[in-house]
Chains A and B, each alone.
Chain A
């Protein structure tokens, strides 16, 4: 196993290089690169001299030109970026003038909290849902759960978010929740628990928007896995031994069915760190999704590249973690 882990870690290096190179090329070849998302020019009364100076500064910061103004070739740009990344300099945002890591540190807790809670809710609902529907296969409870979960899955987030906002956060209808942000205005006078309660109150609607689409997929996976395991010989053997249905289900079938969850959980780990642009936009939350979105529009290359790098690393590490967890959960799984 140790050899396998070391081999996988070493294989991550060329994989990362390939992923970053591909992203680098795509981003650098995108049109509108040196207009900085238009933040330097049109719509604002300013002279061409100012625009030119800013464009020159931008080109130097993006390593498009050297100190003397000579263009740097694309391969060299990549090497320069790789060099600074390996040295630990993740770059400074052109738009915010702050280190990329600072921006991530500011926004990541928000996104992480919402996504972690959403993930927990999805699992808490989907696992029992999948179990119940598997045990009642073909009955009305199975069909209706499947229907509603797929119906929810089909609803676009943008529609549901706007509808929830328009009805549940609207004083003219049901003013049950706040319409924007993560905190009330006067949090300075709140105790710690009041602050937490206020925060939870504000994230109810964003979490509802995050979770509703996740029930269908996960519960169907668990349902399928349980049904598959119920057909296995060991279940017949366990019943033949005289074990009760509950014991067979909880000690044998359910635990074996959860192996699929390891894969799904591992694959969803990188998603914990990437926010939803639509949800953050609707509810005015300053999270990772908005950071990625505004950086893309503004062609803030350091942020785009570094977010992609962080995402790539986490994806690869989570896949490795899944493989390790698989081995721990089922020692029969051996990697060469």
Chain B
């Protein structure tokens, strides 16, 4: 074999060296360009800070009741303007907030208050898309909440709907017409004013059948029309009264038509990275590892505190907690076991803010019975099953006490919930009495029997949740003591849903998300059983149906809550579900943030937080 170093080898080596050299030079060039870019961005930040100072000055002037005339610099006093919330003689409800409402416990008057720093949080899963109306996940909603706004916002303490982008709204006496007047100074981040036409565009986008937002569109089914009158007035008319009408139309995110206009709905669906609105922040970038929001320098409302808000995607709870402890992220939502471990560590609560709280939006866990199955057809049996399970023990053992038992389908914090209804107590002796009354008899095999059939059934549960698995095993043991044979079948989530849709189950372990005031029609009305509806267990109660129908059309809040309470009493008595618990939300916050205490019923509000100048970490 000829191993001499030939010309071919020489050329090869030279080429290789040239390639390596070129790569190194390119890297050095990138480095140089990067340095220039960093220098430029520092200059931009300085300019932004100057602009911020000017805007702060203008706001301070406005807060003293003075207005600056554009162009000539003179000022004139503006009349003191109070919020109006009244019912007019003809029955029209009129609400007017001349200035956008400030959050309760806002930080602006605090001595140490300073703008600046970044807020770095963990979203967990990366959102699949940020397209308004199309995005479904919680992470997308959190990000969109900083960038886009709606006509109304909800006060976290009173839970009332207050004008936000709208300056005022009027509800006609019959509840079939709502008129909004948009604030003059409301504008999008590109400087364009928010107009009535933008609201109409947003509504039409939601109603476009080609736009992938069916879950939200159905809530607008009762809207007859949405039209703009002039530049700042929008009128919604409805086909029939619906108690959520104000919430539904007032909660539509207002999109700038000039940015989002489209020819085909599929075009709109695919703009996953486009997020523009009138909110206090703008989407700067979305990479595989984070979403970065920057302060909107043109924001029309109270100037936001943080320079940036960054959301990272750390799915592993252990990694997320460690990232929090290492200071890589500023907040963490620990698991119950993590909460208990760190709360009990000496000094941890002194060096970190720790909060646990319930929110109305928190969902609940339940076991749903298939009421078409003979073993679950009677109320006595279902009530007895509930009495056989010590839910307080479940909460204490598996959730470390960090949950509250549920009595019905409404969150304990929601006004829909009747606080006088108490959870069914754990009472195995009484449960056995009820089972006997229901016709169950203990057989020689140690299992209860009725009509010649053993009390034996299978519960379906999602396979990836160890908490649910532990709870099911515990419940199985409790039932076994009473002579009930329950087997546990873990299933992949999509298969579980298919089984539920096809009604191929006896019992299922499930959970629902919540809200401040939910429409019970979807889950509890008898019409929701057919066609794979959400009333999978076939809860069919004429009185409940009537109450649901009445409640949906009742516009008076006090009367409506009374209807929901009566409805809850029926569900409580009938026990179509074994209502288990609603978990408490847990939060660790980096200590450099101030004013982090929960506000009203919403928990800690990031919009209220700030970092004193001396403690600021990022520029």
Contact = CB atoms under 8 A, between A and B. Distances in A.
Interface in A188-239: 188-193, 195-196
Interface string B458-486: 00000000000000000000000000000
Contacts of B497: 32, 35, 38, 41-42
Given A43-B511, A54-B214, A97-B272, A169 B322 contact: yes
Interface string A109-121: 0100000000000
Contact of A171 (B33, B136, B218, B322): B322
Given A50-B215, A185-B290, A284-B314, A97 B269 contact: yes
B269 A107 contact: no
Nearest to B327: A171
B288 A107 contact: yes
A185 B310 contact: yes
A39 interface: yes
Interface stretch (A63-71, A136-144, A175-183, A320-328): A175-183
A283 interface: yes
Nearest to B270: A97
A124 to B, nearest CB: 18
B30 A192 contact: yes
Interface size bucket, A side?
Answer: 35 or more
Given A32-B497, A52-B532, A178-B323, A165 B363 contact: no
B441 to A, nearest CB: 36
B335 interface: no
Interface string A256-271: 0000000000000000
Contacts of A184: 328
Contacts of B534: 41-42, 47-48, 51
Contacts of B494: 31-33, 35-38, 297-299
B38 A189 contact: yes
A282 B618 contact: no
A148 interface: no
A170 B325 contact: yes
B489 to A, nearest CB: 13
Nearest to B345: A172
Contacts of B319: 165, 169, 179-180, 282-284
A51 B531 CA distance: 10
Given A37-B494, A50-B218, A284 B313 contact: yes
B618 A281 contact: no
A54 B216 CA distance: 11
Interface in B428-464: none
Contacts of B314: 179-181, 284
Given A96-B129, A179-B319, A45 B515 contact: yes
Interface string B187-217: 0000000000000000000000000101111
A49 B218 contact: yes
B464 to A, nearest CB: 9
Interface in B494-525: 494-498, 500-501, 510-515, 518-519, 521-523
Given A48-B528, A182-B288, A37 B493 contact: yes
Contacts of A191: 31, 34-35, 38
B315 A284 contact: yes
Contact of B289 (A171, A172, A181): A181
13 contacts: A32-B492, A40-B215, A45-B512, A45-B514, A46-B522, A57-B212, A178-B323, A186-B618, A189-B38, A191-B35, A196-B27, A282-B316, A286-B126
Given A53-B214, A57-B214, A192-B30, 16 more contacts: A32-B494, A35-B497, A37-B493, A43-B363, A46-B215, A52-B532, A53-B217, A181-B289, A193-B27, A193-B31, A281-B315, A281-B316, A283-B316, A286-B288, A297-B493, A297-B494
